[in-house]
C-alpha cells in the first residue's frame, strides 16, 4: 500500500458526544452498567488526549436514540483519499450510518457506500502500512468484507480478509498497530498467524483488553487499568498515555472505537 506518511499520523478526528442512553449500550458480557457521568468523563479525557497529540477534533452531538453511537468507528471508515459508509452488524446500530453521513460528505470529496449484501463494522478493520486488514466476526461477514475490499480498491488501498478468534467481538478487540513494524496482540490472536509480516508484542496474560490501544502520531494511548502492558510498552520506548477505560469497557469498547481518524490534506 503506497503512502507518503505513516498510517498512524493524523491531523483530524471525528468523535460523538455520549448520549445518556449509553448506559444501555450493547455488551457480550454483563459487567454491570456504566454510568453516564463515568463515560462522559472518559470521553472528555479522550478528546483532550487527541488534542494534546496534535489532532483537530470535530465533536458531533449526542444521539439519544442510539446508545452505542459514541463508537463512531463502527459505521464508517476514513482515509486521506476518502470515506466508506459501512453497514454495522448489530441491527440496533444500522441507522447510525445515516446519522454520520452528512458530516462525512461535508469533509470528504469521495464518500463510498458499502455495496449490498453483507455487513461490516469498523472495529474489525486494522489499517497497517502493508494492507487494510478486515477481520471476520459476528459483526463483519464474508460478503461485507469482500464488498469492503472493493471500496478500498477504489480509494487506492489494498484490503485483505483475516480471521478473528472465536468469541472475540471485533478484530481490533485483540490488536492494535504500534508502528510500521510492530503490532500489539493478544496471545490468542498472535497464534493465528495473521501477523506473520509484523513483529508481535504480546499482551501480558490477564490484561487482554489492553490490546485495543491506539497509536496517534507520537503517542500510544493505553487503558490505564492495565499497568503491566503500560510498563512493557514504556520499557520498549513508546510514549504511553494512560487513558481511563473502565466505564466504556463495560460495554465492550476500547480506545479505537471512539473516533474516526485520518490525515486531512488541504483542499
How many angstroms separate the Cα of 168 from the Cα of each of 41, 65, 174, 252, 258? Answer: 27, 26, 8, 10, 18
26 in a labelled binding site: yes
Q: What nine digits make up the cell of 211?
A: 490490546
Residues assigned a catalytic role = 170, 257
68 in a labelled binding site: yes
251 in a labelled binding site: yes
Is residue 259 within 8 A of residue 8, CB to CB? The reply is: no
14 in a labelled binding site: no
5 in a labelled binding site: no
| Ranges assigned E (strand) in the chain | 12-16, 56-60, 76-79, 82-85, 111-113, 125-127, 132-136, 159-163, 175-177, 182-185, 199-202, 214-216, 219-223, 239-243, 260-262
Residues belonging to the binding site for substrate are 26, 68, 73-74, 93, 139, 251
Amino acid at each position: 500500500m503506497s503512502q507518503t506518511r505513516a498510517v498512524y499520523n493524523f491531523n483530524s478526528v471525528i468523535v460523538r458526544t455520549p448520549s445518556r442512553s449509553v448506559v444501555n449500550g450493547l455488551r457480550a458480557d454483563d459487567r454491570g452498567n456504566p454510568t453516564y457521568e463515568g463515560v462522559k468523563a472518559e470521553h472528555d479525557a479522550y478528546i483532550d488526549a487527541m488534542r494534546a497529540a496534535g489532532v483537530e477534533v470535530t465533536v458531533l452531538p449526542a444521539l439519544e436514540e442510539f446508545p452505542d453511537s459514541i463508537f463512531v468507528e463502527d459505521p464508517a471508515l476514513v482515509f486521506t483519499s476518502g470515506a466508506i459508509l459501512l453497514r454495522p452488524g448489530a441491527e440496533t446500530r444500522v441507522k447510525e450510518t445515516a446519522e454520520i453521513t452528512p458530516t462525512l460528505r461535508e469533509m470528504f470529496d469521495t464518500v463510498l457506500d458499502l455495496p449490498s449484501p453483507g455487513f461490516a463494522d469498523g472495529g474489525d478493520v486494522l489499517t497497517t502500512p502493508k494492507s487494510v486488514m478486515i477481520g471476520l466476526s459476528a459483526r463483519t461477514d464474508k460478503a461485507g468484507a469482500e464488498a469492503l475490499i472493493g471500496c478500498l480498491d477504489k480509494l487506492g488501498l489494498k484490503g485483505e480478509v483475516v480471521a478473528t478468534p472465536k468469541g472475540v467481538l471485533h478484530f481490533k478487540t485483540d490488536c492494535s498497530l504500534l508502528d510500521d513494524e510492530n503490532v500489539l496482540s493478544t496471545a490468542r490472536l498472535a497464534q493465528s498467524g495473521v501477523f506473520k509480516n509484523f513483529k508481535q508484542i504480546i499482551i501480558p496474560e490477564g490484561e487482554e483488553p489492553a490490546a485495543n490501544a491506539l497509536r496517534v502520531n507520537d503517542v500510544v494511548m493505553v487503558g490505564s487499568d492495565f499497568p503491566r502492558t503500560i510498563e512493557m510498552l514504556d520499557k520498549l520506548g513508546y510514549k504511553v498515555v494512560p487513558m481511563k477505560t473502565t466505564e466504556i469497557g463495560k460495554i465492550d469498547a476500547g480506545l479505537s472505537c471512539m473516533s474516526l481518524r485520518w490525515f486531512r490534506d488541504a483542499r
